[in-house]
Structure 1
Amino acid sequence: MHASLETLLSEGHAVHTVAGCRDAGSLPWKAHPVFAGVELKHLVTAADTDGALSCHLVRLKPGATLASHVHEGQWELHEVVAGSGTAGLAAQQIAYQPGVAAVIPRGVTHEVTAGEAGLCLFAKFFPALL
């Protein structure tokens, strides 16, 4: 059984960096600047890692899509936290459900679509996206 998103982000779940500790549950969700129905929670930013990596929770409402796009400068790692959906990675179609991870090389086109219950990803970027 997998934890719900609410459980993962409840009080007491912390993000530690050398600069200190922050409560993941109190960090704000922000609307994605491009994709409707998608929100981001920036857990670790470029400022925390001298630009080496960033970590984000990505929440897609039911049926929302991160349409076909590419990150020319970053590798990306998705870990499915909650919900379900599908991902297109180059010519592959991947069923996204808790426990699934996908490695997306820089320069590779990809997309993600949430299922009926929505989808939440833990996305990491190397080097940092923000």
Structure 2
Amino acid sequence: MGIVLNEKNMKWEIPEELGRDFVMKTLITGAMSDNKLTFLVCELNPGGELFEHLHETQFEIHYIVSGSGVLTVENKKFNVQAGSIAIGPPKEKHSLKNTGDETMRFLAIFSPALR
């Protein structure tokens, strides 16, 4: 193990262009992983939304830690909750909405790393 980090020491980022009531922490960057992956912890407040978008070259994995919502992939809707995992290939449009009463917390992994 080359690096050990603690999420508590990382700052929340508010990428307003990506969503409403959405925050994230970048835990592992491409610079830390030889550009192999990016690892984020994300939160969506109730009613919050990660806007529709796609990634040109990255696979993306979401693991829902807590909360519930609807993941839309190419206009197909999936109910997700704690324990759900989803993987999406490059160039696939997707969005995520928190439809529950609690903050949705999820992990997002991208490979290769985001740039």
2:21 matches 1:37: yes
Normalising to structure 1: TM-score of the pair? 0.81
* Structure showing greater relative contact order (alpha-carbon pairs closer than 8 Å, 6 or more residues apart): 2
2:19 matches 1:26: no
**Corresponding residue for 1:12?**
none
Residue 32 (structure 1) shift = 1.6
1:91-117 Cα shifts (integer Å, max 9, x gaps)? 421111011000111000001001231
**Corresponding residue for 2:89?**
105
1:46-97 Cα shifts (integer Å, max 9, x gaps)? 1110111010011111111112111111110000011111100124211110
2:67 matches 1:76: no
User: What are structure 1's unaligned runs of at least 5 residues?
Assistant: 1-16
User: What are structure 2's unaligned runs of at least 5 residues?
Assistant: none
Separation of aligned partners in 2, 1:28 and 1:67: 22
2:63 matches 1:63: no
Runs of at least 4 residues off by over 4 Å: none
**Corresponding residue for 1:14?**
none
Aligned length: 113
Normalising to structure 2: TM-score of the pair? 0.91
Pairwise CA RMSD of aligned residues? 1.3
